Structure 1
Amino acid sequence: MADLNFEDVVKAIASDTNTPTETVSRMYAETWAQYSDGARVLDYLTVLVAKRVRENLRGVSQDRH
């Protein structure tokens, strides 16, 4: 499995959720900071952070309907 970098993850989430990349980038950075604070193992952090951002964005879009 190829390592995903920040930009690739942000672009994928933005595309999947029809959200501006700037918004996704900010949310991803904030979530990364929360999850990585004090974390000793960072191996799966990209996956966990991406999942949380997607969930948050889906929750926002559902709240609008």
Structure 2
Amino acid sequence: MAAHHVDEFIVQSIASDTDIPLETVSRMYAETWAEYSEGARITDYLPVLVARRVRDNLRRRKHDPH
């Protein structure tokens, strides 16, 4: 995935807010982006949807150590 400026800002923001390493957040963002964008015709809202999914996954991971 070629990271856009907005994507980099979102990844940095999530990493800062969640105290998760930037590399981990970046990888999760890229994986989620690939999942969401596959077959998508309209991608205008993908950054918002992907960021929300990554944040939710990280929150769940913090609360469920298994």
Q: Same fold (TM over 0.5)?
A: yes
Residue 54 of structure 1 aligns with which residue?
A: 55
Paired residue total: 61
Q: What TM-score do you get using the length of structure 2 for normalisation? A: 0.89
Q: CA deviation at 1:5?
A: 1.2
Matched with 1:26 is 27
Stretches of structure 1 lacking an aligned partner (at least 5 in a row): none
Greater than 6 Å deviation, 4+ residue runs: none
Aligned-residue identity in percent = 64
Q: Distance in 1 between matches of 2:46 and 2:34?
A: 10
Offset at residue 15 of structure 1 (A): 0.6
TM-score w.r.t. the length of structure 1 is: 0.90
Tell me the distance in 2 between the aligned counterparts of 1:56 and 1:32.
Answer: 14
SS at match of 2:64: helix
Cross-structure match for 1:8 = 9
Unaligned runs of 5+ in 2: none
TM-superposed deviation, 1:30: 0.1
Q: Supply the AA of the counterpart residue of 2:13.
A: A
